[in-house]
Copies of this chain bind each other. A is one copy, B any other.
Amino acid sequence: MDEQEKQQIIKSCTRFLRYHYPQTPHQVLSTLAETTDAELEADHYGQGKLISSFENEIADMLGKEAAVFMPSGTMCQQIALRIWSERNRLPRVAFHPTCHLEIHEQFGYQRLHHLESVLVGTTDRMFILDDLKKVSEPISALLIELPQREIGGQLPTWDELNAMIEWAREKGIATHMDGARLWECQPFYNRSYAEIASLFDSVYVSFYKILNGIAGAILAGPADFIAEARVWQRRHGGNLVHLYPYVLSAKQGMATHLERMGEYHEKAKSVASVLSEFSRISVVPNPPQTNMMHVFLQGDPERLIEASLDVARETKTLLFSGLTPTLLLGYSKFELSVGDATLDLSNEEIRELFERIFDVS
């Protein structure tokens, strides 16, 4: 099967195991146009009611003094770590080996901000207090990602999290939350976003991913910290003349999806339970702690993908269209985030479709 045929099959699908239903720019822009007040004025270089009121809303929700909307989380987090490092007079920060800054940002934190990193723990699990105690040099800031995306959305328990925060506070180390998927761990902790965020000096949250916005992020924290972050945002080239398409879609995403996080999490657990019945499937973590999990499949990845696409062609239902290699011999995996599209597939149907795939691959 060539790439073009593969893309045609994917495009023809109407139901999806993963995430939300895909939308074209035309659909997204039409909805935004329809739902935007005709009188609403554009933001202007970060100023104006639209963007300020949204920043305030998120700051309140996170229990922080202030917040700033930026084009990307990459920008938010490098800036946060730079500020905390300067305040603590030491350009060294600590995070997980699979942290976004370490594996997805082309080492911007080094090349732009001249920060050094300490990698805490191992790539297969969340770090805990014992891992932090092994850090043998001073650091200015500790970044904790909730949930840890690259390992299937794992979370520390509330007590484990508090123990780490206490360790950092005692040492005068600033704590920053990578909350790209903070929305998705609310059901696990069963605490308000403000209570979770209260453990951290600064918090970054994202508006695409589960919230389905076009793009965009917010950094929240103390008022003087956010004022400083705005200066860095300009330096990064992120203080755009207009950010309103992103802000409007972020607001819409919050209004549509935030209340469904519990539902997504419940569905994730029941889907994981169904998938675990297959001897050739392993789910990580099991049970899922958020709406996300990694699904490990035993077998030849090319044949599995081919089988999944054959099923997709016939049923217009897409389970997965790509698999990434793993260290585990004979296993490859895909990331499964439960969203609106997942909710519309019954667990019985999911079971049957995987049976068909394994029958022929």
Chain A interface (Cβ within 8 Å of chain B)? 24-30, 32-33, 36-42, 50, 70-76, 78, 104-108, 111-114, 208, 214-215, 231-232, 234-246, 248
Contact = CB atoms under 8 A, between A and B. Distances in A.
Contacts of A42: 24-25, 28
A108 B236 contact: yes
B29 A33 contact: yes
A105 B238 CA distance: 10
Q: How many copies does the complex hold?
A: 2
Given A235-B106, A240-B71, A26 B37 contact: yes
A38 B25 CA distance: 8
Contact of A70 (B38, B112, B237): B237
A41 B26 CA distance: 9
Most chain B beta-carbon neighbours within 10 Å: one of A27, A38, A108, A231:
A108
Contacts of A248: 25, 29
Given A25-B40, A25-B41, A71-B71, 4 more contacts: A24-B39, A78-B237, A236-B236, A245-B246
Contact of A107 (B37, B214, B235): B235
Contact of A32 (B29, B71, B76, B106): B29
A75 B214 CA distance: 20
A245 B245 CA distance: 7
Given A71-B71, A245-B29, A108 B38 contact: no
A235 B33 contact: no
Contact of A242 (B111, B215, B232): B215
Most chain B beta-carbon neighbours within 10 Å: one of A36, A71, A75, A234:
A71
Contact of A33 (B26, B50, B231, B244): B26
Contacts of A25: 36, 40-42, 50, 244-245, 248
A228 to B, nearest CB: 11
Most chain B beta-carbon neighbours within 10 Å: one of A27, A107, A242:
A242
Given A215-B240, A238-B237, A241-B215, A36 B40 contact: no
Contacts of A240: 71-72, 215
Contacts of A208: 241-242
Contact of A234 (B38, B50, B105, B215): B105
8 contacts: A25-B41, A74-B234, A74-B239, A105-B234, A108-B235, A111-B235, A214-B244, A245-B245
Contacts of A105: 234-235, 237
Contacts of A232: 106
A74 B240 CA distance: 9
